[in-house]
A and B are shown apart, each in its own frame.
Chain A
Amino acid sequence: MNHIVIAPLLLPLFTGIFLLLLREQRIYVKRLIAGASGIALITIAFKLLCQVSDGTILVYALSDWSAPYGITLVADRLAAWMVMTTSLLSIFALIYAMHGTDREGRHFHIMFQLQLFGLNGAFLTGDLFNLFVFFEVLLLASYSLLLHGGGRKRIRSGLHFVVINVVGSSLFLFAVGTLYGVLGTLNMADLAIKVAATPPENLVLVHSAGMLLFAVFALKAALLPFYLWLPSAYSQTSAPSAALFAIMTKVGAYSILRIYTLIFGDHAGPLANLLEGWLLPMALLTIIIGTFGLLGSKRLRQQVSYLVVISAGTLLTGFSLDSAAGIAAGLYYLPHTTFATAAMFLLADLISKRRGLMEDRLDAGYVITQQKFLGAVFFALAILASGLPPLSGFLGKFMLLQAALDHPAIVFIMGIVLLNGLLTVIGLARSGSLMFYEAHAVDKSTNTYYSQVSPEPLNVRELLPVFSLLGLCLAMTIGAGSLTEFTAKTAAQLLDTSAYIEAVLSKGAP
């Protein structure tokens, strides 16, 4: 009995329950437990990744009911890749939170663990309704994390987040209900077979349900025109939450990739490639609007939020190319952009905390402690995030463009991706020089409202996560050869849906 597939779900779940039951109120005990669990999660994720890296598809029949009757968890390369990314990201968000964020309100660590439960569940489930359940877990946990610490703006943007996502959940239910009503199944592998064999009179319904599902996933992924909830929510929340949320939009992107290759992919008969004509334009327009947002931002955290929007667009541009190379490029880009934007959120917080009342306003303020050092870190992260050579961002975009070379829309793809790169550089360079180069020396005598900068020196717990995330991206750059080999195989496995279907449906009890 191989329980490794469910381990990434149960570990955070049990940790969360344990923390909830814990009578101990001392924060460092909670930190210790959460930290240990985070490290264990990385180990498990790595083990899972190793087990599936040879192409094995691990199927776990929950309650011992085989597919399509019971719920199955499926770990293939893609799922393991996502779990790995999540676990790596989460440990650094967690460490950063230990610098004080986790004290600002109650239950931070519980919410954090259950958020991981939701994330890993969404990546590993092989059942459409179960995916819905995990979307709910995610929504509730992220709502609490979003509000963590309180404050008026935070609550307002959190409300928008929850309202819009509840509407999204309803749409999800409509779509799942329609699919179940017409096709009579919820298992994704089974759905793939049933969708391909849809009788003509039911095509209408399956098509509509498929598109409604896309609307839900696009909402999660923050594609145009659904992205509006993201910038305010992400820029208002606490830094570790924002950093963890860097993976949230990727849940949407993952779902799009999974559903529209497996169920509505090449093999779906008359419904094959359902998103053709939808995804690419939406993704490209998302990049455009995200770029305007980035240039028009008044605060650094807002700007980083728009980086998240742009990265969602870029990622889905890769997925929409409908080629193994495009998907592989996207899968390489995914962890990179997750780590990079997360590091940016953390750094923005570091800077903001030291600028006193100026916070993260993109305006010339006063010289802060260790200004040159922070400026250098900002410079490095800006290179990373804008996709300039030689870091992983460049490699990701390069792969993407190379994969798009034979696409009929190459002119648009290349034009938009490259121009976005340039404008991101312009935007971030402006922010950097406003905050660092144009800062005025603090004049003790004037003591104006904004000159009250915090002299707090940099702390290891603050810096370690930022540098580790940067280090991960560096490792991704150096190890790009073997990583792209892996993502290429992942893409191939995704497009060869028969292996997935066979693994799920032929395997009764594992």
Chain B
Amino acid sequence: MGLAYLTFIPFIGAAFTTVSTRLGRYSSAWVAVITAAASLSLLLPLAHDVMAGQTIIQHASQWVPSLGLNIAFRLDGLSLLFTLMILLIGLVVIIYARYYLSPRDSMGRFYAYLLLFMGSMLGIVLSENIIQLLIFWELTSLSSFLLISYWQQREEASRGARMALTITGGGGLAMLGGFLLLGKIAGSYELSSILESGDMIRQHALYPYMLILILLGVFTKSAQFPFHFWLPNAMAAPTPVSSYLHSATMVKAGIFLLARFFPALSGTPEWTWIVTLTGLITFLTGAYIALFKHDMKALLAYSTISHLGLIVMLFGIGTPLAVVAAVFHIMNHAIFKASLFMLAGIVDHETGTRDMRQLRGLRKYMPYTALLTMIAAASMAGIPFLNGFLSKEMFFAETVEHGNSMALPWLLPLIVTAGGIFAAAYSIRIAHNVFFNGKAEDLPKIPHEPSRGMQIPVEILVGLCLLTGIFPAQIAGPMLSVAVTSTLQTTAPDYQLAIWHGVNPALIMSMVAVAGGILVYRSREALFTLQSRFDGMFEAKRIYNGAIRRLFNWSSSITMNVDNLSQKRMLWLLFVASIVMGASGFIVHDAPLAGARTMLPVDPMSAMVAFIMIAAAISTVVMHQQRFTALVLVSAVGLGVALTFIKFSAPDLALTQLSVEFITVVLLLLALFFLPQRTPDESDRLRQGRDIVIALLAGSGVAALSYAVLTREYSTIGDYFISNSVSGGGGANVVNVLLVDFRGFDTMGEITVLALAGIGIYAMLDKLKLLSPQQDEDGRPWNPDTHPVVMATFSRLLLPLALMVSIFILLRGHNLPGGGFIAGLVTSVALIVQYLANGVEWTRTKLPANTHPLIGSGLLIAASTGVASWYFSYPFLTSTFHHFHIPLLGDLELASAMAFDLGVYLVVVGTSLLILINLGLIHQVSYQPRITKKNLASPTTDSDTTPSRSAALKKVLPWKR
């Protein structure tokens, strides 16, 4: 479990740092130091075994076993090397940052991010399961986003962070694809089995795809061409971050992966070509661009890119000795680059600038810093007795070796030496340009040596450069050997870590590179002038930014064009798609539309009703611009439907249809009062044509479907209902028994829908204030006789009769046509007539306007009837019925379903009235003020009279008050 703790300690530490800031500004630095030290102390006991050649694999837990996602850790030579680098350089950076950050910066946040990052890095190098590795991989992308954007309000910080996240996060996603394929090929996500099945993996048909996906992850993370540009832009981060991320950790994660999967993936032509070429191009472009960067950190960033290219290229070459060189250079580069970044940070910190066009002659003010910089830069340039020299010479030797196998053996060494020349030149520049090169002047601050806290970390690293450079075998030898062994997964090749190998091509290349570097640096002014002509051209960052901008603009215009809030578009898309889907059956299967059933003869009456309905329907469409006329016409269709029900002996349906028709027409009229009487202008002819075609297709589709269904023989469960209605449901009216018993639950749902509609409309109208018109659109005032006496009188007389009828219908519903729904509608009609005849105000004094309790109790009665059956251990809504003998009345059958029906009745009445009253009330509210205000202006309007609802059909302008 040690490795799991080791990895997770920084995450816990991150949580503590944020809290610890309350104990003082620097306490978070201490927490960070302790965290890194704690992880390190867990590592050391295990390190001993690893140095002895062991591979430690620890299965911590099974996370998602079915997916092969286990939490498992692995420590071998390679991961030990990386863990040490992460922790040691991390520790040094933590100390450095403690002195670097200014009092305005939040230390807690900084160290929290840094520790998050450290933990994620440890996770990458210590994972045994590659999906777990990927998770940590993406976590480094995320935590580096936080680190780079640490100075949040700086634009370049947030942009740089986003760029880094996009590139490295995107690479991570590609790698996820690669790992999925790798897991499929190898049959496991565990490194142990993947590393063993290299041959199988390389021969698999999916190998090339998998390789490309994984390499995308590697190259983006390790800033390889053409993904290199995020790294220089990540320099907006505080320098300790750059020093940590871009020397030993973040960018090395990709390199780590190349090393990790080397035994499984390398050795194929695809690998050699892609990896070597990418590395070579990156090595050259990085080195070239670095020379021309005037910002110290930018120079170092490009030099990092170049060195990463060098290492990648070595892995591409892929001989055991190349791997030795690569692993050795990973160590060396981490050390000298971390120190150089810190030195750049010191210069920046003490002078206030990093611009090398401004900086010069600092040697006078900070001689010690100058010395340290010269050593580190010399190591970067590849000067003997420094660690950089050793691995660089190995690299030269390998290119010579590899070049021999190619058609033009001199080509590769030549190109590489050219790169070496630039590397030497920029190394010289960073030391000479800043510390020599004339007299310091015009600096934002008077420079002086930094505090010891910033120097000590650099001293440690520079000391390591020297020690390794002079005693390579003693200092780096053992570590290198185990790291190489576990990278190769076989015994390491014979190699010698020595400063002097005799005069060989590599030494000559080294000498040429350094000499050339000096020459190039001397002629820098001319080169800068030349280069400045190409400034900004072919700049990857610009291409990237342009692409991102285009992506957003493009998406935005697509979105605005597609999602243009047009209801018409939503509808025609829906219609067209459903026509296509509905027609698909007819395309796939070959069967006649008509079924085998013989048609009934057509009698003249039915034909006439059908004709009227068709004519009314068509006229509705034609006349739809006159809303009132269209409404009348469409109600004619409804009446035709009711007639049809009667014709086919469905009195319940006919009754329902009639009363629903009545109520909807009244409500629609009320609503139309507030709407313009004419519809807005139509769309152009072309669209109209399109809509006509769609409408015809949809209509005929539905007609064809109905025709096909009706002409087919069928047997439904309907027969069961008919035969069980009396015996099981206790009612002779099957329709009603269906509604309250067989499918009573549907009714329960539907009355809920009804209630929802009612209270929904109530809630919607609650705040709505509409202004109603004073006259129709031709300027005629409303008829002042709003409540004709005759109508009022008769309607009042009719009320008790109508109510009695409705109660009769309710009670007999179980056996004869009727029932709660119809009875409710009839009652509503009767009451609505009262409103129409006498006005809302008058009726409101007689009847409660708030029908919520009616609706609520209706629902409650219906639902409670359902629950009551629980008492008898039956499921919800089970009905029961009994015959009672009551004197005088005789035999009476009472079914529990009747209570349910009563609930239905109440909901129907309550809802229809609620809607009506509240629509009516808006009229009142909206009408009154206008009348008082314009009392004299419109003499025909009597202020005591409310406007007639029958006149509510005219054009108005609705707006909120």
Residues of A participating in the B interface, judged by any CB pair closer than 8 Å: 1, 3, 6, 10, 13-14, 17-18, 20-21, 60-65, 68-71, 105-107, 110-111, 114, 117, 121, 129-130, 133-134, 136-137, 140-141, 143-144, 147-148, 150, 156-157, 159-160, 163-164, 167-168, 171, 174, 177-178, 180-186, 200-212, 214-215, 218-219, 225-226, 228-229, 231-232, 270, 278, 289, 291-298, 375, 379, 383, 388-390, 394-395, 398-399, 401-402, 405, 414, 418-419, 421-423, 425-426, 429-430, 433, 436-438, 480-481, 484-485, 488, 509-510
B residues apposed to A, CB below 8 Å:
62-67, 69, 131, 134-139, 142, 145-146, 149, 152-153, 155, 157-159, 161-162, 165-166, 169-170, 173-174, 176-177, 180-181, 183-184, 548, 551-552, 554-560, 562-563, 565, 567, 569-571, 573-575, 577-578, 581-586, 588-589, 591-593, 595-596, 702, 705-706, 708-710, 712, 714-718, 720-721, 724, 728, 741-746, 749-750, 752-753, 755-757, 759-760, 762-764, 766-768, 852-853, 855-857, 859-860, 863, 866-867, 869-870, 873-879
Taking a contact as CB atoms under 8 Å apart, the answer to whether A185 and B874 are in contact is: no
**Cα-based distance from A383 to B165 in the complex (angstroms):** 12
A167 to B853, CA, bound (A): 32
Task: Tell me which residues across on chain A come within 8 A of B582, comparing CB atoms.
Answer: 174, 208, 211-212, 215
Which of B548, B567, B717, B863 is within 8 Å of A426, CB to CB? B548
Instruction: Name 6 A/B residue pairs within 8 A (Cβ), A-sorted.
Output: A1-B875, A64-B869, A208-B586, A388-B142, A421-B173, A481-B64
Instruction: Given A402-B67, A414-B177, answer yes or no on A3-B876 (Cβ-Cβ < 8 Å).
Output: yes
Q: Which of A65, A134, A163, A395 contacts B571 (CB 8 A)?
A: A163
Q: Which residue of A lies closest to B146 (CB)?
A: A379
Question: In the complex the two chains form, is B746's CB within 8 Å of A225's CB?
Answer: no
Nearest-neighbour CB distance to chain A for B283, whole angstroms, equals: 28
Is B863 a contact of A398 with CB atoms below 8 Å?
Answer: no
Identity of the chain A residue whose Cβ is nearest the Cβ of B567 in the assembled complex: A160
Interface pair B753/A226, CB less than 8 Å apart: no
Q: Decide: A398 near B176, CB < 8 A? Known: A64-B878, A292-B555.
A: yes
B768 nearest in chain A by CB position: A150
B573's partner among A64, A182, A228, A379 (CB-CB below 8 A) is: A228
Report A-chain residues with C-beta under 8 Å of the C-beta of B746: 71, 129-130, 133
Q: Which residues of B contact A141 (CB under 8 A)?
A: 756, 760
Residues of B within 8 A of A414 (CB): 177, 180
Let me know if B557 and A296 touch, CB within 8 A.
yes
A77–B174 Cα gap in the complex (Å)? 35
Using Cβ atoms and an 8 Å threshold, which residues of chain A touch B69?
Answer: 395, 398, 480
Q: Is the CB of A510 within 8 A of B875?
A: yes
Partner of A69, one of B558, B560, B717: B717
B170 touches A422 (CB 8 A): yes
B63 touches A422 (CB 8 A): no
Are B570 and A228 in contact, CB atoms less than 8 angstroms apart? yes
A1 near B870 with CB under 8 A, answer yes
CB contact under 8 A between A148 and B720, given known A62-B875, A481-B64? no
Residue of A nearest to B859 (CB): A17
**Nearest opposing residue in chain B for A401, CB measure:** B180
Given contacts A1-B875, A65-B741, whether A405 and B184 have CB atoms under 8 Å apart is yes
Please indicate the chain B residues that have their CB under 8 angstroms from the CB of A509 in the complex: 875
In the complex, how many angstroms separate the beta carbon of A499 from the nearest chain B beta carbon? 21
A residues within 8 A CB of B721? 69
Query: Given the complex, which residues of A lie within 8 Å of B585, measured CB to CB?
Result: 203-211
Contact A401 B565 (CB under 8 A): no
A174-B702, A296-B558, A437-B157 given; 20 more Cβ-contact pairs under 8 Å = A60-B876, A64-B878, A105-B767, A106-B759, A121-B749, A133-B753, A137-B749, A144-B759, A156-B565, A182-B709, A182-B712, A184-B717, A202-B712, A204-B708, A205-B709, A292-B554, A292-B562, A293-B559, A295-B559, A430-B162
A347 to chain B, nearest CB (A): 18
Is B173's CB under 8 angstroms from A205's CB? no
Say whether B591 contacts A63, CB under 8 Å.
no
Complex: A17 Cα to B714 Cα, angstroms: 41
Q: In the bound complex, do residue B589 and residue A207 qualify as a contact, i.e. CB atoms below 8 Å apart?
A: yes
Given contacts A293-B555, A510-B875, contact A418 B571 (CB under 8 A): no
Q: Which chain A residue lies CB-closest to B548?
A: A426
Partner pick for B756 among A71, A137, A389, CB 8 A cutoff: A137
Given A140-B756, A225-B573, A437-B153, do A1 and B588 touch, yes or no (CB 8 Å)? no
Q: Of B166, B702, B757, which is within 8 A of A422 by CB?
A: B166
B743 touches A70 (CB 8 A): yes
List chain A residues, Cβ under 8 A from B879. Answer: 63
- Complex: A65 Cα to B745 Cα, angstroms: 11
* Contacting residues, chain A, for B706 (C-beta < 8 A): 177
Are the CB atoms of A63 and B875 closer together than 8 Å? yes
Q: Are B859 and A484 in contact (CB under 8 A)?
A: no
Asked if B581 and A211 sit within 8 Å, CB to CB, the answer is yes
Do B709 and A63 touch across chains, with their CB atoms under 8 A apart?
no
Q: Given the known inter-chain contacts A63-B745, A182-B714, A481-B63, please indicate yes or no for A402 contacting B153, CB distance below 8 A.
A: no
Nearest A residue to B558, CB-CB: A292
| B557 → chain A closest CB, angstroms | 7
B162 contacts across to A, CB distance below 8 A: 426, 429-430, 433
- Tell me how many residue pairs across A and B have CB atoms closer than 8 Å: 353
Docked Cα-Cα span, A114 to B174, in Å, equals 45
How far does the alpha carbon of A278 sit from the alpha carbon of B587 in the complex, in Å?
15
Alpha-carbon distance between A433 and B142 when the two chains are bound, in angstroms: 14
10 tightest Cβ-Cβ pairs between the two chains A and B: A207-B585, A184-B716, A208-B585, A296-B559, A295-B555, A181-B709, A296-B556, A133-B749, A296-B555, A144-B760
Q: Chain B residues near A232: list those with CB within 8 A.
A: 563, 565
- For B67, B593, B856, the residue with the greatest tally of chain A CB atoms inside 10 Å of its CB is B67
Q: Are A399 and B67 in contact (CB under 8 A)?
A: yes
Given B62, B548, B567, which contacts A159 in the complex, CB threshold below 8 Å? B567
| Whole-angstrom CA separation of A227 from B877 in the bound complex | 38
Question: Quick one: closest B residue to A7, CB to CB?
Answer: B876
Report the minimum CB–CB distance from B194 to chain A (whole Å): 16
Residues of B within 8 A of A1 (CB): 870, 873-875
Q: Is the CB of A388 within 8 A of B552?
A: no
Q: Is the CB of B873 within 8 A of A71?
A: no
Closest B residue, CB atoms, query A141: B756
- Evaluate contact between B64 and A480: CB separation under 8 angstroms: yes
Contacts of A436 in B (CB 8 A): 152
Distance between Cα atoms of A292 and B146 in the complex (Å): 26
Q: With a CB–CB cut-off of 8 A, which chain B residues contact A226?
A: 573-574, 577
Give, as a whole number of angstroms, the nearest-CB distance from A191 to chain B: 11
**A210 vs B589: C-alpha distance in the bound complex, in angstroms?**
13
- Which residue on chain A has the smallest CB distance to residue B151? A437
Q: Given A14-B863, A70-B742, A71-B743, verify A164-B570 contact (CB < 8 Å).
A: yes
Chain A residues whose C-beta falls within 8 Å of the C-beta of B66 in the assembled complex: 481, 484-485, 488
Give the distance in Å from the alpha carbon of A63 to the alpha carbon of B869 in the complex: 9
Among residues of B, the one whose C-beta sits closest to the C-beta of A294 is B555
Taking the closest CB of chain B, its distance from the CB of A12, in whole angstroms, is 10
- Whether A184 contacts B63 in the complex (CB less than 8 A), given A211-B581, A296-B557, comes out as no
Say whether, besides A207-B584, A228-B573, A20 and B745 are in contact (CB < 8 Å).
Answer: no
The residues of A that contact B718 with a CB separation of less than 8 Å are: 184
CB–CB B152/A437 < 8 A: yes
Chain A residues with CB under 8 A of B873: 1
Q: Which chain A positions have C-beta within 8 A of B762?
A: 106-107
Known: A20-B855, A202-B712, A207-B584. A63 touches B558 (CB 8 A): no
Of the candidates A14, A60, A388, A510, the one having the most CB atoms from chain B within 10 angstroms of its own CB is A388
**B591 & A178 in contact (Cβ 8 Å cutoff):** no
Instruction: Write the chain B residue with the least CB distance to A399.
Output: B67
Across the interface, which residues of A come within 8 angstroms of B588, CB to CB? 207
The interface residues of chain B lying within 8 Å CB-to-CB of A421 are 173
Contact check: which of A140, A204, A225, A426 meets B760 at CB < 8 Å?
A140
Are A418 and B176 touching (Cβ within 8 A)? yes
Instruction: Give Cα distance in the complex from A21 to B859, angstroms.
Output: 10
Chain A min CB distance to B821 (Å): 14
Q: CB distance A111 to B760 under 8 Å?
A: yes
Q: A63 to B741, Cβ gap below 8 A?
A: yes
